[in-house]
Structure 1
Amino acid sequence: METGPGAERHSDDELATALEREVARITSAIPVVGTAAVPDAESEPEPERDAEEDDDWIGPPTQAISFEDLPVRRQMEGPQPTFSAWVGAAARPVPSPQPEPPAPAPPSRAEPLSFVPPELALRDSQPLPLLAEGPEPEPETEPEPETEPEPAAGPAPPVVPRIALAPALPDLPGTGPVVTHELGPIDATSARIDTDLHDDADDVHSTAPSPVASPRVALDETVLSGAEPVPAPLFEPEEADLEPSAVDRRVGRAARMFWLWFAGTSSLISIGVGATLFTLGLSLRQLLVATLVGVALSFLPLGLGTLAGKWSGQPTMVVSRATFGLRGNAIPAILALLTKLFWGAVLLWLAGTAAGSLAVSWGGAADRATPTAVALLAAILIAGLVAYFGYALVARVQLLLTIASAALISVMIAGTWRHVDLVRALAVPDALWTHVVTGAVLVFSYLGLAWAMSSAEVARYQRPTSSGGAAMLWATFGAGVPPFVLVSYGGLLAASHPGLADRLASDPVSGFVALGLPGWFPVPLLLAVGLSLISALVLTMYSAGFTLDALGVRLGRRWSTVVAGGPIALAGIVLALTVTDLDSVIRGVPTALSVPVAAWTGLFAAETMLRERRFHQPSLLATGGVYPDWRWVNLGMLFVASAVGLGLVSSDLPWLAWEGYLFRLLGIDPEAGIGTSNIGVVVALVLGLVTPLVAGIPAVRRQEQGVA
């Protein structure tokens, strides 16, 4: 290799230059009209060729094709690369009587090589001959077109050898001539047939192609081929029942769980729960600790239920079949239905009594009966209508109510903050710390256990690709923040005004009125109470419909919702006629229901945490699949944990006086000290959690091994 200033190119560049000269000599020009070259008389005749011997050989042309209507390829500007261009199919020269043209001069070494093979430069602007298969016709010289310009003076242009080149730009289909192919006539310019191989993939063995319409999709169908899921129409009743929710309808993101829960748990009635904690004797600091512990415990049922609903896309009491068996799950389903009917009736009753209290307090009615009845009817109709249409409308209503509830809560706190006396509230002495357990259990029952058997229903439309951990956190955050703020604020108001504590605990609305609020306050107060109660009632009725179907009453989701609304309305009316004290409702029946619900929560949550694979959805709907009909260990522990827990709680209601029997057996007074702590709820929860961890791992692994 040469070195020094004069050696600007390598030996491989010189070889490439030599190759380019030879190619340029052979392919220096392409005729405008293809002609069959007349062989020299002295030359030897061409031997007969076999297709397998030379697949690149193309016979003589039968017809010329014009490419004058095609755009000319834009010529490249500026310095070009110095590599050699690859020339396409091999050319077989035909002897010509004309002298060969002089070889082009080699490029100067002082400038970079800019070489475009002549055949590549000419083929975009000049017609090329199209050759067809078949026997070669007799050589025939075609006359030159009449429009061909006279050749300039000088030597005649040489007849160059024919080469096989594919045109760079395609013609429009159906505009070219038809040539003969072994399988029939073909539009030459549309098909662009290669005659080099009989089995070439781009050969067309039919007539000229025509446009083919894409298959149409019905307006009510959705094709998910990398497309985004589409939300269901708001006022079209949801058809999905116990089966998994359709993937193309799972539009929810993790953050949606926040406002699905926020509106339902942001009722000002929570202020009454805070006042109830204060009446138990808790100081402000103890009240805050109890509230925080109760909200933290609520993460277990709400978070893991959300995860299970996202995994399966099915309601809570369907997913519960994996834990208790397809037939054995009827017992937890009955418990869930009773719990939802009770809390639905309480919510309905609270909405009615709140309206009645406001109407009487501001002189709008002589008694509570009429406004209470109107409010009961309006609440059940509005909530039932929204729950009837299903998830799409529920999610939209919850979003609007979340915004409204957040604004109204801010207004309520701002309007009553002047009544807060931090010095007096902090001066309240501490009570026995066993009372903190009582307060934490009360908050846990009011929040976590009240919604434990409904958490998967609002999570079944989460996107499969969304984060399960994020959904758990958003659900717990949305469900826990409003009660924590309102319960704490209710305790703060009660501690600031001990004389109003009992009134706030029994009737929060009348307690607010007793604070001496301005005249414009009834409207936002009624909205703050009513909208959040209706939101919670919507979720309760929506979930109750699924639970009724899970028991085998297969009416369809929407009609099951309507049927479940009947007992809720009836129980709400009974409560409105017989109960006037919120404190007795919160501290009586809810604790009794919370014990078996806590046992179910522990069993269900523990198995959910143990699972390494998601639920097998078809086996949750029919017997004979992965999940057995009965899970006797879990069913047995549900009864045992409930019995133990009920023996460690107490109630002031006469018909629940039998509770706390284990305290009596142990010589503990159910009416004092730890006997009033309702620790049985926590005991039932712990027993439920421990059972699968000790005895349920093999059963869970067998289920997962059976999943196809």
Structure 2
Amino acid sequence: MTSLPAATEKAPSPSLKIETRSIDYVPRHERHGKVWHQGPFWFTGNFVLTTMVTGFTGAALGLSLHYSILAIVLGVCLGTFCMAFHANQGPRMGLPQMIQSRAQFGLRGAIVPFTAVVFVYIGFNVFNVILATDAINTVVPGARAPWYSLMIILAVIIAVVGHDLLHAVQRWLTYIMISVFSVLTVSALMTLQADAAVADAHFSWSAFLIQLSAAAGYQISYSVYVSDYSRYLPHKTSSRQVIFWTYLGAAGSALWLMSLGAFLASALPSPDAIGSVREVGNQMIPGFGTFTVLIAVPALVGIMAVNCYGAMLTGISAIDGFLQIQPNLKSRVVGIALVAVVIFLIAMNIPDSYLASFNTFVLLMLYFLMPWTAVNLADFYVVRKGHYAISDIFNPAGIYGRWAMPGLVAYFLGLIAMIPFMSLSFYQGPVSRALEGADIAFVIGLAVAGVAYWALTRGLDLDAERLAIQASERQLEGVGQ
């Protein structure tokens, strides 16, 4: 399938330039960047109004503020744990996140998690462009289509330039977002009263676990592209440092914004991401709330670019399993453009009820991604311990094959095991009903898929794979293992 680069002596240029790689391996001589950059990248990547909306869930279900925040803390810590450990795969393997799944699911079998992942990318970007347009319409009312087009085009340009520009944009936005939202948070604490808008605020396991699941699912959604942005780091980058900085950035912004969202939802009778921010900010300094809403737009465009880039990588990975695609600039541009068109068409035609069903979207995302993250992490940390024949990931006749039954069986076992525990607006499993609506499905999916994969791969011939790894190293880097 995709051809891989041979090692050369040419060092990467330090200047910003258009990225030419897509799903192919990044040779070690091209690696660059600083590990601490993962922190601001994921801080701003998560510091968007969409994150705040996730914090509205508990209050909407009658959960008091301190229990909502407790559920958010537990959910964010668990979800970010999965995400941050995926980040370590980037420097070790030099590959985008989802194409690594071929080692567990097979070159074509990986289409199963790929489908769910593309759904996540598209769904989030539709929501993001709608929120960003709502923010702009608070100042410039009018038709939505031109703003959709403008923001999608900006996201496409950033995504086409690629990895280094994405990092630079996210890093500089971090300083701006911290400064502005610090003032907004102080204003909220000074002017609002917790639980003032929640009638009979109380604790219930159902509401607590739904808020916890929403927070965890939101964080786990980043797992599908986290090593896309760590794969250019030097091969010997400390695993602890990659995990630490990714965790710090992603968890820090999520805890802040989701908790702020929970506070606003508990204090305001009709909370919404745009109106609430504007109201609270303007109470402290006239016009500051409107300014904050507008400042949030670049962050939304930034994460839209990240999502377009990730959707392109996943889409190319999926197609390449069946029809060879050259991993060059042209395929990147075409892939990103197609993603952008789909986002625009859905945003223009989707009903307003989509915004009201954001929590259902996050839970569905959690259900479909949890078995994948369990299989992928179990393979990397327990079964193969981070050692892969990279060239075979692109080879239909390689050791990973076209369809890998252990990964596929473990994924579907995890998915099926969750069904009785699911709690959605249109379906509630029998166990969830017995627990009065409480949702612990993601815990079941994680455990079942992970354990099943470990059990199904106990007979794996790691000695034969070790020989393939050595051959792959010679092909890619011109050295032995």
1:244 matched residue in structure 2: 25
Q: State the TM-score, normalized to the length of structure 2.
A: 0.87
**Structure possessing the higher relative contact order (Cα contacts under 8 Å, 6 or more residues apart):** 2
Q: Deviations over 1:289-316 (max 9, x none)?
A: 2111111112343122211122111111
- Specify whether residues 700 and 562 from structure 1 end up closer, same or farther in structure 2 by C-alpha distance, changes over 3 A only: farther
2:390 matched residue in structure 1: 617
Uncovered stretches (5+) of structure 1, i.e. residues with no partner: 1-220
1:174 matched residue in structure 2: none
1:513 aligns with 2:278: yes
Whether contact under 8 Å (2:278, 2:292) holds in the other structure is: no
Q: Given the alignment, which residue of 305, 309, 326 partners 1:542? A: 309
| Structure 2 counterpart SS, 1:539 | helix
Q: Deviations over 1:431-481 (max 9, x none)?
A: 123432211101111222x21211110111111222112101111211111
1:563 aligns with 2:328: no
1:433 matched residue in structure 2: 205
Match for 1:676: what amino acid?
A: G
Whether contact under 8 Å (1:251, 1:461) holds in the other structure is: yes
Q: Report how far residue 581 of structure 1 moved.
A: 6.7
Q: Deviations over 1:124-154 (max 9, x none)?
A: xxxxxxxxxxxxxxxxxxxxxxxxxxxxxxx
Q: Given the alignment, which residue of 344, 351, 372 partners 2:132? A: 351
Q: Report how far residue 588 of structure 1 moved.
A: 1.8
- Specify whether residues 509 and 692 from structure 1 end up closer, same or farther in structure 2 by C-alpha distance, changes over 3 A only: same
- Specify whether residues 230 and 549 from structure 1 end up closer, same or farther in structure 2 by C-alpha distance, changes over 3 A only: same
Whether contact under 8 Å (2:370, 2:442) holds in the other structure is: yes
2:414 matched residue in structure 1: 641
Match for 2:404: what amino acid?
A: R
Q: Given the alignment, which residue of 229, 249, 252 partners 1:481? A: 252
Whether contact under 8 Å (1:298, 1:476) holds in the other structure is: no
| Structure 2 counterpart SS, 1:519 | coil
1:307 matched residue in structure 2: 88
| CA–CA separation in structure 1 for the residues paired with 2:202 and 2:195 | 15
- Specify whether residues 269 and 263 from structure 1 end up closer, same or farther in structure 2 by C-alpha distance, changes over 3 A only: same
- Specify whether residues 423 and 293 from structure 1 end up closer, same or farther in structure 2 by C-alpha distance, changes over 3 A only: closer
- Specify whether residues 321 and 700 from structure 1 end up closer, same or farther in structure 2 by C-alpha distance, changes over 3 A only: farther
| CA–CA separation in structure 1 for the residues paired with 2:380 and 2:23 | 19
| CA–CA separation in structure 1 for the residues paired with 2:165 and 2:376 | 29
- Specify whether residues 438 and 341 from structure 1 end up closer, same or farther in structure 2 by C-alpha distance, changes over 3 A only: same
2:454 matched residue in structure 1: 693
Q: Report how far residue 551 of structure 1 moved.
A: 1.1
| CA–CA separation in structure 2 for the residues paired with 1:586 and 1:613 | 35
| CA–CA separation in structure 1 for the residues paired with 2:357 and 2:13 | 39
| Structure 2 counterpart SS, 1:257 | helix
| CA–CA separation in structure 1 for the residues paired with 2:98 and 2:309 | 13
Q: Deviations over 1:573-603 (max 9, x none)?
A: 223xx11674x23222232232121111111
Q: Given the alignment, which residue of 224, 227, 233 partners 1:462? A: 233
Match for 2:293: what amino acid?
A: L
Whether contact under 8 Å (2:55, 2:211) holds in the other structure is: no
| CA–CA separation in structure 2 for the residues paired with 1:700 and 1:565 | 43
Q: Report how far residue 606 of structure 1 moved.
A: 1.1
Whether contact under 8 Å (1:322, 1:627) holds in the other structure is: yes
| CA–CA separation in structure 2 for the residues paired with 1:408 and 1:697 | 52
Whether contact under 8 Å (1:287, 1:439) holds in the other structure is: yes
Q: Report how far residue 232 of structure 1 moved.
A: 5.3
Whether contact under 8 Å (2:410, 2:453) holds in the other structure is: no
Q: Which has the larger radius of gyration?
A: 1
Q: State the TM-score, normalized to the length of structure 1.
A: 0.60
Whether contact under 8 Å (1:326, 1:627) holds in the other structure is: yes
1:317 aligns with 2:107: no
| CA–CA separation in structure 1 for the residues paired with 2:30 and 2:289 | 41
| Structure 1 counterpart SS, 2:421 | coil
Match for 2:407: what amino acid?
A: N
| CA–CA separation in structure 1 for the residues paired with 2:122 and 2:214 | 19
| CA–CA separation in structure 2 for the residues paired with 1:689 and 1:700 | 19
Q: Report how far residue 397 of structure 1 moved.
A: 1.1
Q: Report how far residue 702 of structure 1 moved.
A: 5.2
1:421 matched residue in structure 2: 193
| CA–CA separation in structure 1 for the residues paired with 2:342 and 2:199 | 46
Alignment map for 1:116-515 (pairs within 5 Å): 223=9, 230-231=12-13, 233-234=15-16, 236-356=17-137, 358-359=138-139, 364-365=140-141, 369-370=142-143, 372-421=144-193, 429-448=201-220, 450-495=221-266, 497=267, 500-501=268-269, 503-504=270-271, 507-515=272-280
Q: Report how far residue 430 of structure 1 moved.
A: 3.4
How large is the RMSD of aligned CA atoms in angstroms?
Answer: 2.6
Alignment map for 1:641-680 (pairs within 5 Å): 641-652=414-425, 657=426, 659-660=427-428, 662-663=429-430, 669=433, 674-680=435-441
| Structure 2 counterpart SS, 1:690 | helix
| CA–CA separation in structure 2 for the residues paired with 1:688 and 1:232 | 42
Percent of aligned pairs sharing the same letter? 20
| CA–CA separation in structure 1 for the residues paired with 2:197 and 2:156 | 42
User: Which of the two has greater helix per residue?
Assistant: 2
Match for 1:478: what amino acid?
A: G
| CA–CA separation in structure 2 for the residues paired with 1:457 and 1:294 | 23
1:574 matched residue in structure 2: 349
Q: Deviations over 1:201-249 (max 9, x none)?
A: xxxxxxxxxxxxxxxxxxxx9846xxxx645542x32111222113233
- Specify whether residues 686 and 529 from structure 1 end up closer, same or farther in structure 2 by C-alpha distance, changes over 3 A only: same
Q: Report how far residue 548 of structure 1 moved.
A: 1.1
Alignment map for 1:75-154 (pairs within 5 Å): none
Q: How many residues align?
A: 452
| CA–CA separation in structure 2 for the residues paired with 1:565 and 1:635 | 30
